[in-house]
Structures are given as C-alpha cells and as structure tokens.
Structure 1
C-alpha cells in the first residue's frame, strides 16, 4: 500500500498484564489486540505500532520472535471484525506483504488462518487476500537456484500446500471468489521473461489449480492462459536463434545424408543440415527464452500425463482444442507450442487423437472461415497425419479421402487455368495430400482396399487444368511423384511433369522456393527436454519406408529397431511414462541413430535431368516475412 512502517528498533511489544504476567489466555490476548486496534481511533498509536512491527518481522530479522508472531497472528484472527482499511492501513499492508516462504510451518498456519478470516469477514478484503496467496506461487529470488535442495523442496511443499488449501477455503466461504481468483492469477502471471525467472514455478501452480478442487470453476481459463503464455514465448524465439545462415544459392531447407560419425558430435538433431541454413540446437539451447519455453512445455506435458492418469484428459482436451483454434492456429511462426496438443493426442489416440484432425478437416472443408485459417488448418492436418506414429493407416486414409473429395468437388466448378492466388485454398489442400502421401504411401499401398478409396479422384485432380503439381512446393511434388511412380499409383505421364520442377513462377507465387508461405507445424521439435516426450510418438523422416526403398539395403540394426518399436511400441511408451526425465533421456539415446539421423528422401529425382540438385523433402519450411504468410 506504500505506507511507511514504524521503526521497530525503537519499539517493544509488551503484552504483559497489569501484574507483569505475560501468560495471557486466548480471550485476554484477543482483547489486548482489539484494544490496540481501537486505540488508533483515539490517537493512541503505541500499542498499534508495536503490533504492526511484530507482524512485519521475518525469520531473517534479528528482532524476530516466532512465538510472538504466531500468537499475534492468531489474536488478529479472533478480532478481524475490528480491522478496516481506513484506520489500519499499516497493519493490513504488513499482513498482505508477508511471504510464507519466510516463515516456519507454525507461523504459516497462523497467517493462513488470518487471511481466510479476513476474506470471510469483509468483502473488501477478498481481492487483497487472494492476491497475497497468489503472490506465494513464486518463491523468492534467492531460493530459485536452491529448489533442488531437500530442505527447500520441503519448504516449497509446506508453502504451496497451504496456499492451495487457503484458496479452496476462501472459495467455500465466498462463492464469488473463484471469479476474482482467475483474474488475479492471470494478471499476476510474469511477463518479463528475461528478469522474472520464476515463471516456471508460477505456471506449475496454475496447472495445480487446474487439476485441483477449484479446477471445475477456474480450470479452463487457467489452462488457456498457460497456452497463451507458451505462444508468447514461442513467437519471441526468432529463426535467427535456431538457424545459422551460410552463403547459398537457395533458401529452401533440404534433407541431407549425415553419417553417424558426423552426427555423434552433437545431439540427435545435429543430423539436420540444410543448404544455406544449418540447424544448431546448441545455439538454441543458449537462448533464455527457448530454455524457458522448454521448461514450461515439460511442466505442461507432465500435467497432461497426470490428467490421463486421473481419467480427465478428454475433459482437459476440450479446452486445449478451443485454445488451439483461438491462439495457436492463428499464431504467426509458431514453432513449438503446438506440440502440447500433439502430445495430448498421443496420450489418448482413440479419443483426443481423432478429435483434433476431425476439427482441422472441418475447418478446411467448410466455408465461412477465412482463407488463411483454412490453409493453416490443412497444413496442421497434413503435418499431424504424417508425423503421428500412433495413427492407424485406415484413419489416415479416411482423412485423405475427405481432402481428396473436397479438392475434386472444388475443381469440378473451376474451368480456368493455373492461378495460385485465386485458388490458394485448393492448392493448400492438394499440397497437404501430397505431403501426407510422401510419409504414408507405402503403408497405404500395402492395403489395396484402402488405396482405392481415393486413387481415381486423386488422378482426376492431378490432370485438372488447375495443375496443382505446377503450383505446390517442388520438393514435396518431386517426392510424391517418385513414390507414386514406384508404387504404380497411376501413370506418371507428361501431364504430371513441368519443365522446371525446382522453381516455377507459380510455385514461387504460391509458396515455393522464395516465399516459403506454407509450413509443416509438426516438424521435429528442437527443444531438447520437450522432444524427449514427443520422440516415442513421432515419425521421423529417416524411418519412413518409401515405395522405392529396397528393403534388402536396410541394415540389420535398423531392422532390429523397427521390429522392436513395431512389436513393442505400446509397452515401450508405457515404460517411458514411468521414468524420470533423466532416465527418459538415457532410454531414448538407445534409438537416437535410427530415429533421428534425418536422411534424405530421393537422392536423385526421376522427373527429369534439368535439375542441378536432387529434390529432397523439406525438413522445416520457414514462413516468409510477407504479411499474408502463415
């Protein structure tokens, strides 16, 4: 409140009775404190100032007397009806400024009782009481680097368990307080990430609120606020923090073969190298914002696991879906935050794993939404269907069929020639189909009845005058055509080939080599700790069996890994869930080579010899800086 407290060095808090006996009964103690409060109105401030000075002490003060402070707080709880803002501003400032991290359990309990009593006694105190409790979500700065110490961990548990019990007690006594609590929690959420490093502890408490007894009242709003903060951090991480530019004639990212010996010098993603830009997780790891985002996402992943264990993941997922549509889907350059919903889908493939792509496909095929939303939705859908290891082939085909049916129906009413700007939603749908088939064509071809579901209409789309093969990203088109030829999916005639596959005017206009408007949101996660959660559920390009693969060339080591993951995936994933983060890292190291070397697709394109370089599937496509870019 900005008041100047009395100098307690000149004060003595004399609670003795007239005979000098300091052993007062509870009733006498309450009377003594009540008299101190009432004396303010008559102008006698001595007893009141002494009381304020006692309340204002903490363990580190040389005048600190734990028994005296505990007794005084208890006495105040018995006389809250005599406290008001007008006359006792000093006292209230001292109480609401107390941090439970500065006291032992006995004082904490007395303080909590006082806060609850104040909230229940006067509606004018509710916001201040809630604000005081929420302020204890964050440990003092001097404890941040000691949170792993046993004594500090015990202190943390002592503080936070009391804070959350107090919030629940106030909610029971003041029914409207949860609404005020939501506003206070969100308003107090740290925003200066470079200075306020205890945001991780704060978010941890927000998630504890979501899963606690107040979750039914505040949970959805709190969870959406957490996702909003993840996005805020995400967009602060520039691509320059992730990539180190090198001179090159091209700006598209391409997969390259990386020997294991070369990859061993870095972690599992060092195998991703691109002409013009080299991925460097080490430089990203040194980024404060990236490290903070990584830690927050790990806390969120842990929270989702606890929700699954409690049987409430589906309920929480509904909030995540809403948050995704409002926040993530519309976020420009989102790089990592979207993996929160990916992980939730992986934890419950039969429910969450189906609802998410259904929502995306609905957004794409139904008119009424903006073109950018529809294009973003289908990009997310394509990336999700390609990368989700937990998705069945039959489900992927059903999603592809829906996209193919929409594109075919759209093309029937279009008689014009190629026009990337006029038909960009159509081309984004076609590119999504090509991209998914690059990852899934072989598994689909293994089930003849599945490929027939969309084979003929897809061929009609490819032969249409809108010519999506001329417009979509050349690297995606090249890989799709190569696999289609190897699978004899249809006759790859001249109608499917254009003169300059590497770079055409139309592909540049829509999102080709220069503009890079299209993106694949679930490309490999570069945040190291977060990736350890995602990795068991993720399809890495190096592990994709294409239609042109010669199985005899696959090493026995890779076969062993594939057999293990295919036959024991469920057991392996369950085992991952019960491991600590360190154990999880060690566990994943066994499979890093097979799962992460990120080798190329075609070494040479079959579609023509004009290209100076082989076409390769893009690992990550950076959005352009144009305003309309996604």
Structure 2
C-alpha cells in the first residue's frame, strides 16, 4: 500500500493524549451543567469552595509569578531602550535626526518631564553603546554632560558617574567637554544655574554639589592619569575675575585648593594661579589702611558670617547679590585717574567718585584678606597633617561608588559586547613637579633628602612662584607674606630663600637691574623682620653683603668709575645693610668679656668695617637711599657706638638745599630710583583675618627699639630733632605723615612714623581720599 495515500493506515494513529478530534481547529462545545443555573444552593457552595481553594493556591504562588513577570517586563523595557537608542544613533549617522532629537530631549529636564528612574534607565542603556558615539552624536554627549546631575538624587548621581567614566574610557576625545563642565561647576554661580535647570530637586547645599563634582573628578583621574594637562587650562579659564565678589573668589579658590589634595601634579600651577590673582588685587591697594577705617566704620568687618558651602542653594539672601561688583566695574575701572571738577556731590558734600574708590579699595582689601586666609589655612592643614596617599572617598551625600556591572539582563542581547565592569577608582600619587632649588644655601644643612617630603615640595613650588611672579611685582604689599610664613616652618627654608635672593641680587649677572635691586630689598626686609632668622643667619647674610660692597668699592678704586647698573645694585645692597643694622645690630656684636667691653668698647663683626668705607665713599649711599632709612641708621649707629654719620647727612642736606646735583646718580632710570626708595616688601601686615598667621613670626620695632639707657649718650642737638618722633615707635599701623607745629626738614620728615610704626616706606598718595 502506498504510504502516502490518504486512506493509509498511517493516518489513523491514536494521539498520545487528549480526546480524538476530527479536525484540529474545531474545539469541543462545553456541555451544559446544572451548576450554571441559579437556584441550586448546594452547587453554589461547592463552586464557592472550589474558587476559594483555587484562590488560596494563587495567593501562595503569586510572588514567584510576579517576580518573574517583573523581570520579563524589565528585560522587555531595556530591550526597547536599547533598540530605540541604537536605531536613533544609526539614523543620525545616515542623516535622519528625528529619533535622535527625541533622545537628546530625554536629558533636558525642562523639555521632558520624566522620573529619575527613567533617566537612569537611559543612562545605563547608553553605557552599552559608548563606542558608537561618534562626532555626529556630539549633541547627545553635550546634553548628557550639561544636564543638572549634581542636584539630583544619589542613585542618579551614581549612574551618571559610572557612565562618564565608561564614556571617557572608550571616547577620550570628550575629556575636554567633561572637564570643562567640572571646572565651571566649581564656580559660585554654577549651583544656582544647575538648580534652575533642574525640573525637580529637593533642598541641597553647595557642599553637596561640590563634593559630587570632586568625586567625579577623582574617578576620572583614576582612569586617565594624563588628565592634569587638560584640566589646568580649564581651571585657569574659569577663575573669577577680580571684580567679582568675595563669595565667588573664595568658593572657587577653596575648590582649587581641594583639587591640590588629590592631584598633586597641579599644586604648583594652582598655587601660581591663586598668587597671580592675589597680586592683581594687591597692587590696587595703594592707600594706607588707616585712611579707610572711618569710611568702613559702618560696615561689617567680618568677611564670612556663614560658610557659603553650608547654605541651601537659593537661600543665600541678598548678601551675595549686593556684594557683587560685576555691574559696577565701570564706576571704578580706572582708579588711578583723578576725579574731574564737574563731579556731582552726594548728600555729605563729598565727590561721588571718591566714595566709589574708597568702597572699591575696601572690597579689594577684603578679597585679598580672604584669598590669603584660605591659602594660609591650606598650608597649615598640609603641614600639620601626616602625608597620606590621596584616595577618592565618596562624600557623605553620595553612597559608596563600587561601580558594579550593569544589570545582567543586558548580557543576552547586547550586540556590542562592551564590558560593563568599571574599575574602582583609586588615585595613585605621581611624582610631584620638580622645582630647581637655589644654588646658594647659607648653611651646609640645607640639603633636601632624596625622598623629598610633601612640605619641601610645596616650598619649592612656592619658591618658584615667588621667583617668576612675586619678585617681579614691586607694588605688592601682602602676597609675599605667603612665602614669609612658609619659610618659618623649617630652618632650611630660610637658608634656601635667602640663598636664592643673594643669587638674584649679587651673583647672577643676567638678572635685570630692577630685579636685582628688588631682591636686595627682600634680603634686608626679610632678615630684619623674620623672628625665625637666628643670629648665625644674620651674620652670614651680613658677611655676603659686606663682601659685595667691598668688592664694588675696590673695583671703583681701580677703574675710577663704576658701571651704572652695578652702582644701582650697590645702593640697593647698602640700603638693605642699613636696614638690617637698625633691627639686628645686637646680633652683629662679638661675644666678648663683659668687663673688657666696658673698658675697650663694643666689638663688632670684622666684616662691618667696610660700612665706614661705604658711608664715606664718593658714591654717598646715604644721599640716595631712602631718607627714613638713612636717618634711622645714623641714629642707631651713633647710639650704639658703631659710627657717626650725621656729618654726611648734614652735608647732603646742604647740597639739597642749594639744589646741587650729585656727580653720580645711582640708577640709570627714574623707575629704579623710585622703587628703591618706596619698596620695602615686608612692611607691617595689616590685614585683619590673615594677620593671625604672621603675628607670631614677625618682628615689631618695639622689640628692638633703642632703650632710654642706651640712648642717653646721644647728642643733645639730635635729641631735639628726634624727641617728637620716639613716642610713636611702639605704635602699629602704616605710617601717615602729618604736619607738626614746627617746620620739619624733608630728610627727617616722617622718620618716627616710618620705623616706629613698623614701616619705613614713604607715604603713598592718598588716592583722593
């Protein structure tokens, strides 16, 4: 029989189970049952019992069925997300942007209102296609980077951090975009902007926002060790302008100093940027602070009333708004210009421009005080804490970021096979930037160990900043005290600092004359003021200065005339020596027997004998140096029995009265001459908040002033000229010269105020105040 015949016996096989049907599509009709009719109570009871028993079975099995259903739904949803993203990216690459634009809008909270869970789903799905994000998809990457993620919930922040790490690992070309977002996020205004851009966000402080930014930056740094070279230009570009308010300056500087903690490669450049901004503000403070006290009496003296990091964003009040100077820049953009005659007067009859300038100087003083205080605090924390390798610990507001793999549901359908395991962030400690130490240490112990500790690294960075920035700025008053304070932390630091100054002033012939004169001024001012420079350090510096002066005089004696540039340095060194003598003359005496001293007089350092030649030489340094320094040196030298200089001073006064011009002028340019007579870098420190760091290491004039019993042998004629100035020797503050009832000679005018008030700088212009 044909096996393919329809009548074959093979077509009559009995099914394995179930009733036999003639056709597959015909379902058997249900048979009527009495239970379907009403009125049969016993059958109802049995049906109810059956349904309740089946319901109980369903209740027992429902959790298992529900979890399975949820997993299936989640898998299906993730597949939909991935399918949509893949097609959107592909269509965008082919020139169609409808779906791609919809995808971009998902990361705009104002354009699309969606829950945080949906946003996280988009971010996690995108983590699988980071390798497909080409240049044509830049708009999507920019939308993700610019989204206000710092103000969202912790789970979203964690997902965002994971995605950024994976994105930059696969596509490092987007590093500048991400780092630019972080650098801009360190600013004061960024928090309010992020809060405005976020559709739904609870109360949040700036500290939380900045913690999240720093945590993201540390995570990226652990993945890309070469990040610092790209980050630093962006940090410099976002530094607030000097006209911005105190909150803007302090917020950004605090964030920069925090970056130094976990990215030591940038410490040198970050400190340099902060110092540069401090100098820009410092040079605008060219009036005496006492002149601002009356105008500032009605204002609050506190720079910080409440830490802005702990204030809820949006609840800062009006303080941050009224303090801003962004809109007032035109009112005092040119502080050096004089007020015109046609200026309007205010209600008090004072020129409005003058009041504007006063307020501007007050704001600048507060800004500079704030910047230096933050920097001092950073140095203090660094040197007081035990150095540890930095590790990115998550902020309190963010759960620990262990960076687990994405949900395994993606494993079965991910077409790209992208690894989803992101490395746990761990920050190594790369070698710090090397700064060449000065080649002229003043003691043999000033050698750094082969394994340089963090304290020395920071000092070398600060010394390099001083050499290339601070030393070249003559009008700065306070910024240089950063190095003054830091040198007090280690005895070797003072030796290294002085060695560098001596090299710049006396040894290196390629250094410009103005810079050499400035370095000489730093030598005299530093040795005079620093308490931590001991007796041996003073004597070592004096020997170097005296040897230079003697060599210069010998050269003039041989050649008959000296080089003008060398003469400029000669006068600068002479003035530094005179200043050091006024403050440290006790350290220049030899330790002799007390009885022998009474009979033969005081014994001085052998090298100081050249000072007599210097004072009486044809170069006549007492005529060219600052009149305040010359007069005070003459007084101290005469009182302690070192030498008598009043004859030279009287001759110089007669020549000035006759209008005579010295045959040899010190400097080739008027600028060098002016700077020599006005630049004393470590004049009294009068900033209120940061001044606490200087008080304990700064030598006041009252500590070394001539006692009455030491001054009893002074000549009567000189006593009459100086009595009225000695009472001010113990006063604080920057000197303000005022006219007295008796006519003062120009050479002695302001003498008492200069050294007595711990400043030998001539009074600067009052700036119209």
For residue 178 of structure 1, the aligned residue among 223, 228, 245 is: 228
Q: TM-score, normalised by structure 1?
A: 0.71
For residue 350 of structure 1, the aligned residue among 491, 502, 517 is: 491
- The corresponding residue for 1:621 is 761
- The corresponding residue for 2:367 is 292
For residue 232 of structure 1, the aligned residue among 257, 270, 280 is: 280
Counterpart contact for 2:631–2:747, Cα < 8 Å: no
Q: How does 1:471-550 map to 2 (within 5 A)?
A: 471-492=624-645, 494=647, 497-500=650-653, 515=674, 517-518=676-677, 519-541=679-701, 543-550=702-709
SS in 2 for 1:488: coil
The 3 A distance-change label for structure 1 pair 142 and 508 is farther
The 3 A distance-change label for structure 1 pair 404 and 496 is farther
Counterpart contact for 2:89–2:100, Cα < 8 Å: yes
- The corresponding residue for 1:252 is none
Larger Cα Rg: Structure 1 or Structure 2? 2
CA RMSD of aligned residues (A): 4.4
Q: How does 1:278-289 map to 2 (within 5 A)?
A: 283=358, 287-289=362-364
SS in 1 for 2:123: helix
1:54 aligns with 2:106: yes
Counterpart contact for 2:588–2:605, Cα < 8 Å: no
Superposition deviation, residue 491 in structure 1:
4.9
- The corresponding residue for 1:457 is 610
**Size of the alignment, in residue pairs?**
523
Counterpart contact for 1:120–1:173, Cα < 8 Å: yes
SS in 1 for 2:699: coil
Superposition deviation, residue 476 in structure 1:
0.8
Counterpart contact for 1:164–1:209, Cα < 8 Å: yes
Counterpart contact for 1:455–1:489, Cα < 8 Å: no
Superposition deviation, residue 78 in structure 1:
2.8
Q: How does 1:4-83 map to 2 (within 5 A)?
A: 21=73, 29-41=81-93, 47-57=99-109, 63=113, 65-83=115-133
**Cα distance in structure 2, aligned partners of 1:201 and 1:266:** 22
SS in 2 for 1:539: coil
**Cα distance in structure 2, aligned partners of 1:417 and 1:498:** 22
Superposition deviation, residue 488 in structure 1:
0.9
For residue 141 of structure 2, the aligned residue among 67, 88, 92 is: 92
Counterpart contact for 2:582–2:633, Cα < 8 Å: yes
Counterpart contact for 2:124–2:163, Cα < 8 Å: yes
Superposition deviation, residue 533 in structure 1:
1.9
Q: How does 1:381-400 map to 2 (within 5 A)?
A: 381-400=523-542
Counterpart contact for 1:304–1:313, Cα < 8 Å: no
- The corresponding residue for 2:502 is 361
- The corresponding residue for 1:109 is 158
Counterpart contact for 2:529–2:699, Cα < 8 Å: yes
**Cα distance in structure 2, aligned partners of 1:50 and 1:155:** 32
**Cα distance in structure 2, aligned partners of 1:94 and 1:351:** 53
SS in 2 for 1:351: helix
Superposition deviation, residue 550 in structure 1:
4.1
Counterpart contact for 1:241–1:284, Cα < 8 Å: no
**Cα distance in structure 2, aligned partners of 1:197 and 1:83:** 39
**Cα distance in structure 2, aligned partners of 1:96 and 1:192:** 28
5+ unaligned residues in a row in structure 2: which ranges? 1-68, 196-200, 302-354, 388-453, 593-601, 713-728
**Cα distance in structure 1, aligned partners of 2:150 and 2:288:** 36
Superposition deviation, residue 159 in structure 1:
3.3
Listed one character per residue, the Cα deviations across residues 271-313 of structure 1 (whole Å, up to 9, x for unaligned) are xxxxxxxxx9x95786333322221211111111122124522
**Cα distance in structure 2, aligned partners of 1:421 and 1:361:** 16
Report the more deviating stretch, 497-506 or 476-485. 497-506
SS in 2 for 1:414: helix
- The corresponding residue for 2:732 is 596
